[in-house]
Amino acid sequence: MKSSLRFPALRCAAKRTGPDAQRGVTMVEFAIVSPLALLLVLGIVQLGLMLVAKEIVNEAAFVAARAGAVDHAQTTTMTSALQRALVPFYQDTTDSNDYTRLGTAWVRAQLDLGNPLNLDLKVLNPSPEAFADFGLSDTQNHTYIPNDSLEYRTHARDGQSSGQSIQDANALKIRVTYAYELKVPLMRVVFQSVMCNGPDAFGRGGGSGLATALECQQYYSRGRVPIVTYATVQMQTPAWSS
């Protein structure tokens, strides 16, 4: 007689080592892996959307800089052009009527971009030092940097305050910061936890995150991510000091 038949414990051990012993393992593995896989997929989708958003903001900054180049580097002109170029972020793609879709998007853009935390445009060049070096006054009391006959003017960097030449001072450079709103589910919590080192699964807070405290307050705590881009164009009109 076989030993497994004489001893019940051996029979039970033999059953546990058979195919039936693997039942339920797949469900356990799925329960462990699926949350991580879901976060990975959602993260990839969100990063893809952010890359597209970065291209839109890059183009919008260039449009704003060109508008400023032909209007004396006025911030109001550039901000208006920038807001128009960012309207695609606010369109409802389910609306098939072009008129209502664009009209609604424009209103939503004005409401959202009117908040200085959501959109910031800063003129980096010409700087106040450049106006101090090369600025002249016109009949309307505008302090301006001459824009005519630049090819015939000296190219020496003789600006005592700015260290620039007059050609350098006629290059308009702007920085645009747009607070992009995260759309993919769960990504607001993930980004805030990673960038600002929020509480972990046990409710414990960590140390400092990847972002500054100001960035966490202005952007990540509101479910947004700052997209920063720069644009540089040649001035076509004399730049006015704001």
Alpha helices in 70-201 (DSSP H): 75-85, 98-113, 128-134, 166-169, 187-196
Could you tell me the CA-to-CA distances from 15 to 18, 39, 100, 176 in Å, in that order?
A: 5, 38, 69, 68
- Is residue 41 assigned to a domain? yes
Kindly state the tokens that stand for 52. 């597209």
With cut-offs at 50, 70 and 90, classify the pLDDT of residue 204: low
State residue 208's pLDDT score: 55
- Is residue 129 assigned to a domain? yes
What amino acid is encoded at 96 in this protein? S
Average pLDDT, the chain: 86
Domain span holding position 230: 36-182+223-240
> What is the pLDDT averaged over residues 196-211?
61
State residue 37's pLDDT score: 86
- Is residue 2 assigned to a domain? no
State residue 201's pLDDT score: 46
- Is residue 91 assigned to a domain? yes
Q: E-strand spans in the chain?
A: 119-125, 136-137, 143-145, 171-181, 224-234, 239-240
Task: Tell me: pLDDT of 81 over 70.
Answer: yes
- Over residues 30-47, the pLDDT tens digits come to 777 778 888 899 999 999
**Count of domains in the chain?**
1
**CA atoms of 70 and 87, how far apart (whole Å):** 22
Residue entry with tokens 């990839």:
44
- Is residue 200 assigned to a domain? no
- Is residue 8 assigned to a domain? no
Task: Tell me: pLDDT of 108 over 70.
Answer: yes
> What is the pLDDT averaged over residues 226-230?
97
- Is residue 77 assigned to a domain? yes
Hey, CA dihedral for 217, 221, 222, 227, is it positive or negative?
positive
- Is residue 95 assigned to a domain? yes
Kindly state the tokens that stand for 44. 């990839």
